[in-house]
């Protein structure tokens, strides 16, 4: 149910996109570029859910962020740009979303007294 398109650019960058065949919507977009020694680097997810590393795989970083932190991802459709948030620790009723027009941003707050 997906179509994957892979781009190779002259400067050594790569881009991979996945589209839903039925709706034509963009599911994910990832970028990768060569490292300083000429090898392939890690994929940087621009749109869609980041792929989780395999269990037991050795990572080059010694410090990683907590798996309980919220995950923000972008989803593009033909009519809108959407931001999705996964792994929220509290019920939906605890959160409020507002728009700050002067700073051109969305703010998500909790009603918790912390």
Place of tokens 């795989």: 57
- What pLDDT is attached to residue 37? 78
Cβ distance 106 to 99 under 8 Å? yes
- What pLDDT is attached to residue 52? 56
pLDDT higher than threshold 60 for residue 58: no
Angle (CA) 112 97 94, round 5°: 30
Give domain limits for the chain. Answer: 2-64
Q: How many CB atoms lie within 10 A of CB 30?
A: 19
Confidence of residue 5 (pLDDT cuts 50, 70, 90): very high
pTM for this prediction: 0.53
Place of tokens 């997906």: 2
């Amino acid at each position: 149910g997906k179509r994957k398109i892979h781009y190779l650019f002259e400067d050594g960058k790569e881009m991979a996109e996945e589209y839903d065949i039925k709706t034509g919507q963009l599911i994910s977009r990832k970028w990768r570029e060569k490292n300083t020694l000429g090898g392939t680097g890690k994929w940087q997810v621009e749109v869609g859910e980041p792929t989780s590393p395999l269990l037991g795989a050795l990572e080059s970083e010694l410090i990683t962020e907590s798996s309980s932190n919220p995950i923000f991802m972008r989803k593009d459709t033909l009519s809108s740009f959407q931001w999705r948030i996964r792994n929220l620790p509290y019920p939906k009723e605890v959160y409020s979303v507002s728009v700050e027009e002067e700073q051109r941003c969305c703010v998500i707050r909790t009603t918790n007294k912390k």
